[in-house]
Structure 1
Amino acid sequence: MRKQNLILIFILTLMPTLSGCGIIDYFYLPPGEDTAQELFEAGNDAMREKNYVAAASYYSKLKEDHPFSPNALAAELALADAYFLDEEWAAAVETYKDFENMHPRHEAIPYVLHKIGIANMKLYPSIDRATQPVQDAYSYFQRLVETYPDTEYAKDAANKMVEARAMLAKHELYVGDFYFRMGQYASALSRYREVETNYRDVPEAYDYAVNQSKIAFIKHREKRSSQKQEKREGSWKEMFDWL
């Protein structure tokens, strides 16, 4: 009995020490937050597994909870990559832009400009939509080619500039053809001449525009002549009706 009492006293004596060592906390307190390193590794694992939604979540949490961590900068770029690979083009553009604004001298800027350009082109779904994303893409590719001509991304950016110009020219022709089909020849002529003036570097579009301009001009003159004739005939008819 005395032995049992001594054991009990010994355990009670150790309790403050055990509590101080964190054993009580381990069993009764909620687990601590993930560290920046843990979040970064979890995001990288998710990227390797192509689970881009989860990866974006980990990288976002790292940025928010550990903004001064050594991994924070890498997480910013990785977050943009996660959006890009998940084909969340608008989110990718904004996140890459944020990275460029925050770190304009970073060595990854040529890569970032290239990705912004590509993502913007992806935001242009079809020829009948507004061309602002394509114009933005062209601007970023142009910056890349002019500012970082010796990088591995410059050659592809130059090719993408040609592609963007063709897309812009084809959009103008699409609108011009629409007006032409509607019989609005003056508006059609304006679009065709826009291509003639500004897209000589897109031969196929330029040649088509030159030909259509001639046809639209003739159609426009014929329509105006017909309208004038109808107006004159209408005036004579009104006069005879009055008599």
Structure 2
Amino acid sequence: MTSTQQADYVTTVDGVLLITVATAAHGTSMDFAGINVGTAALRALGAEVGAVLLRGTGSNFCAGGDVRGFAAAQDRSAHIHGLATDLHEFVRALDATTVPVLAAVQGWAAGAGMSLVCLADIAVGGPGTKLRPAYPGIALSPDGGMSWTLPRLVGAGRARDILLTDAVLDADEALRLGILSKLVADEKVADETLRLARTFAAGPHSTYASIKSLLRQSDSTTLSDQLDRERESIAAAANTPAGREGVNAFAEKRKPDYTGLA
């Protein structure tokens, strides 16, 4: 893939790494050219990037896997194994990022597309947004981490219900469950998500990294141990350039400028 072709899938705008996970050319199913280029970009993430934004460039965020491609494969098991391997490397790279991850969820997010929405720190949808696991419909099991992320978002019982019944979640229900973070007009989903991502990119990167780290650790620790981590984290933050700028700006009654600060 040439650098021009790569730029069709991955580009950086105002400190935001934009990754295209589905395209109209692929019928809005997951586009693995974007997934694989995205994995490489996430692993090479530099300090200049302050947020990651996942998007689809068609009418849907991502309508799931290319089921026609599954059907056409000579060895379906090997074909899907390879796709899941690539997708899961992307998921691992996404999960390892210390910056906020956002998803602009227009239209459908189904199958692995829904899995990616569940991985985002902030997911913005519109009234027309719909989510569906879609795995039971083709007699396959979840991938992309959905069996891990969904119970943590909605609770184990609700996750069982959604996955086993192949529930279609409308935008209001997805917002109520916490899968979507906010709703805007359908035509504003892309712009509003980019606006939020730019806000994060201009903010205190070290603070966001600390928040994500503490939240990740809280899944498997006691309250007492988490309190110790919080104490050490906030004390360390006070001596970072961003921490000093934030406190000084508050005391001086001015807007903080985190440009170039860790």
* Higher percent of residues as helix: 1
Asked if TM exceeds 0.5, the reply is: no
The TM-score, its normalising length taken from structure 1, stands at: 0.26
The TM-score, its normalising length taken from structure 2, stands at: 0.25
Query: Which structure would you say has the larger Rg?
Result: 1
* Higher percent of residues as strand: 2
